[in-house]
Structure 1
Amino acid sequence: MTAIDDSTVRSPDALRADMVRALRAEDGVRTEPVAAAFSTVPRHRFAPDASPEVAYSLHSIVPVKKDEHGSDVSVMSTAHLQAVMLEQADIEPGMHVLEIGSGGVNAAYLQELVGTAGEVTTVDIDRDVLARARRCLDDVGYTQVKTVLADGEHGVPEGAPYHRIIVTAAAWDIPPSWISGLTEKGRIVVPLTVHGTTRSIAFDRDGNRLISHSYRLANFVPMQGEGAADERKVMLREGVVLRTDDARVPLAPQALNAALDGSRLERWSGAAYDLPDELDLFLTLNLSSPARLHAAPGIVDSGLVEASALRGVPALVGRDSIAYRTRRENAGTGGFESGVIAHGPQAEALADQYTDLLRRWAQNHRRRGAATLRYLPGPAPTPLPEAAVPRRHGIVTATWA
């Protein structure tokens, strides 16, 4: 019998120590309390069906439950994203924290942060997901964490008010229960989806309103229950999809598909292209009729659509025309220059609007963290302010420094 050399197999403790070092290096972990929480919690025991290497990987998710179509409805989020959100939350010992969306390990991190004098409640709409979280928490020794089976849309009023609310599913709106469930100076960290992109936003309560403290790109499974998103998605042709959650945007797939087959207008802005996540946010909230254009690699390789659409790009959509962002090398702008591709009878008008926004961002707002986002509950005003997105319970607005 041949002996198996296990000298290269690393222990969970060693993998966990490596994870924390890497999180510090990649700006996920910034403070000692979050570092201590990640150093303490045995993350691999919340992912028994994954290898320890996957559990302690910075950027790997661990599927928890899939729907009948094979899509993830619950996952253990990446270590890096969890660390970013916990740093955004700025949790102190003794706080009461509500987690909306249960996975187990994040609640354990929260319990480490609030300590024995604090309290953590985690709520989930899915009985199977919550039972798994409860089982893992108990097995690892976090028996003090409270688990609640309910629709997170309504919060957990019996434990309110909370100093912090952490949402771990992509939310389309912020229901009144979350705002009223915060203390007067409370903070909510929520992955908020606007026009097809999600950002983890740390909002501080300001009366009945919320104002952003920070925001970072994020990726989460969508919220279930009453808070599920109102999103439309149309396929223009195989491999080309438009998505929007704005009911005001016209989506006429036949006319837009015909536009793609027509002439192509290329317009260059003379403006520098960098910080794509910041530019993406500015475009998403300032385009007058926004959607997100996605194209498969084969479509890009054919030359029909630019590579910017591989992961989704903000698009300006009319009933029979479309425009979206691209880039090219240009040493005069510092490396790359932003441009616009437009198709259809209204290509000139759409390209003009889009190019103006590219120039405005590059001239006035080209830095990280320039945006301040607000959530204003209640009916949307008429007319809507600039850079405002209506939702069921209120509106999201943004201003740029």
Structure 2
Amino acid sequence: MTDMATAASGQAGRLRQQAVDQLLQDGFITCTDVEKAMRTVPREQFAPGAELEEVYAPYDAVITKTDEYGVAVSSVSAPQIQAMMLEQAQLQPGHRVLEIGSGGYNAALISEIVGDAGEVTTVDIDAEVTDRARRFLAGAGYPQVRVVCADADDGVPQYGLYDRIIVTAGAWDIPPGWADNLAEGGRLVVPLRIRNLTRSIAFTKAAGHLAGSDPQVCGFVPMQGSGEHAETLVLVNGTEEIGLRFDDETPADPRLLDNAVRTARVEVWTGVTVAPQELIGTLQLYLATTLPGFCTMAVDPDLDTGLVAPNNPRFSLAAVEGGNFAYLVTRRTPENDVEYGVHAFGPEGEVFAAAVAEHVQAWGREQRGGPGPHIDAYPADTPDGQLPSRHVITKRYSRITFSWPEPDTAQSQDHPIRGQGE
């Protein structure tokens, strides 16, 4: 090895240990096996050409392929996301594991954890990605990992059943093949798109359905092939200035919104305040699963005329009802906390703003600081009466239910709207 190569290897090793130390300190790594794997596998060998500081940035992905429009279609996920999902999977030595969405590095981490008695298969629809993964895995010392080029909508049944399936692409649905490939009692970890939000969820196969828990905020390159799903964009007032994005149910008649912004803007403040560093993942998920007409709003900065005034023009939580739409805003309080409010437009804007505000207030009273919902996935033909919750998102293959904890009545009466962080 040349002096230059030796120096680079030494720097990579130091940065690798620093990244793991940071993730341990921040609580994203708690499992010894995950820590050992991340300290061992040379991540830089799976992202050649990237600067080492970029490769080992704990919270940043490394883009490895883009399409003709410059949109990322393949990446090495951020170390924090990989550690989080590996911990959700609860891998054990000897497990048979299928990874859906390849790149090589994550498969190497899995191989380190399951050991020689285990078995790892990684699959991707893109032959360029799988060729690269196969080459990188062999070069890094993991030639035993099986690399398959295929559309994984049906899983990879020829090598199953699997104790664990880990999906590393943003999935809109859970196709039957994934559950069929999973051993009874096995775990499926999948970044599932839920009305424009993505949550990594750990599902356990049991009694004809998938029982989920531990939803974690994440972001992934969308699934390609049979599992690809395009969101619906509704342009308010017929212009590209204001776009409402729907990932599941869409408005019955979007044209009713055309004149909404011609009405006066209604502003309502909820009294729900959060500390600047308080986590709000359950608020987002609560609104997405309980607020009818939920969507997200984006404003084109080049066309912005000030009709709406979101805090984040690229992404705001929003909702639609008939010819009305609303979105969430925030403001600083004298105590330097953040208070949530609602802006609404439309002929019943005042009533709709109050309804959206009540959902925020319900979260503040009943769900704030809690564990979040229990999430279950059932086949798409499951009748309502056999589902455990009325909060249901029906997709092509599955019905996803969200069972929020029942509020403690006594605590609800005494609980101030401003409370402890999650």
Q: Does 1:400 align with 2:404?
A: yes
Aligned to 1:33: 33
Aligned to 1:193: 193
- Residue 234 of structure 1 and its aligned partner are, at CA, apart by 3.1
Deviates more, 1:313-322 or 1:73-82: 313-322
Q: Is the 8 A contact 1:306 1:326 kept in 2?
A: yes
Aligned to 2:273: 272
Cα deviations by residue, 1:288-316 (Å, 9 ceiling, x for unpaired): 11211123557789472220x43523211
Deviates more, 1:374-383 or 1:260-269: 374-383
1:116-131 alignment to 2 at 5 Å?
Answer: 116-131=116-131
Q: Distance in 1 between matches of 2:319 and 2:382?
A: 22
Q: Is the 8 A contact 2:192 2:201 kept in 1?
A: yes
Q: Is the 8 A contact 1:327 1:339 kept in 2?
A: yes
Cα deviations by residue, 1:325-363 (Å, 9 ceiling, x for unpaired): 22233468x933322110011212322321221111111
Aligned to 2:318: 315
- Residue 107 of structure 1 and its aligned partner are, at CA, apart by 0.3
Deviates more, 1:202-211 or 1:373-382: 373-382
Q: Distance in 2 between matches of 1:217 and 1:289?
A: 21
Deviates more, 1:39-48 or 1:208-217: 208-217
Amino acid at match of 1:278: T
- The alpha-carbon distance between structure 1 residues 14 and 285, as it changes in their structure 2 partners (threshold 3 A), is same
Aligned to 2:14: 14
1:1-400 alignment to 2 at 5 Å?
Answer: 11-236=11-236, 237-250=239-252, 252=254, 255-256=256-257, 258-273=259-274, 275-296=279-300, 302=306, 304-307=308-311, 309-330=312-333, 335-379=337-381, 381=383, 386-400=390-404
Q: Report SS of the residue matched to 2:339.
A: strand
Q: Is the 8 A contact 2:244 2:297 kept in 1?
A: yes
- The alpha-carbon distance between structure 1 residues 239 and 29, as it changes in their structure 2 partners (threshold 3 A), is farther
Q: Distance in 2 between matches of 1:335 and 1:45?
A: 44
Q: TM-score, normalised by structure 1?
A: 0.91
- Residue 164 of structure 1 and its aligned partner are, at CA, apart by 0.6
Q: Report SS of the residue matched to 1:11.
A: helix
Cα deviations by residue, 1:185-237 (Å, 9 ceiling, x for unpaired): 11111000011110111111122211223111111010011111242123434
Q: Distance in 2 between matches of 1:263 and 1:293?
A: 18
Gaps of 5+ in 1: none
Amino acid at match of 1:393: Y
Q: Is the 8 A contact 1:297 1:310 kept in 2?
A: yes
Q: Distance in 2 between matches of 1:290 and 1:303?
A: 20
Gaps of 5+ in 2: 406-422
Deviates more, 1:159-168 or 1:53-62: 53-62
Length, aligned pairs only? 394
Amino acid at match of 1:280: Q
Q: Report SS of the residue matched to 1:48.
A: coil
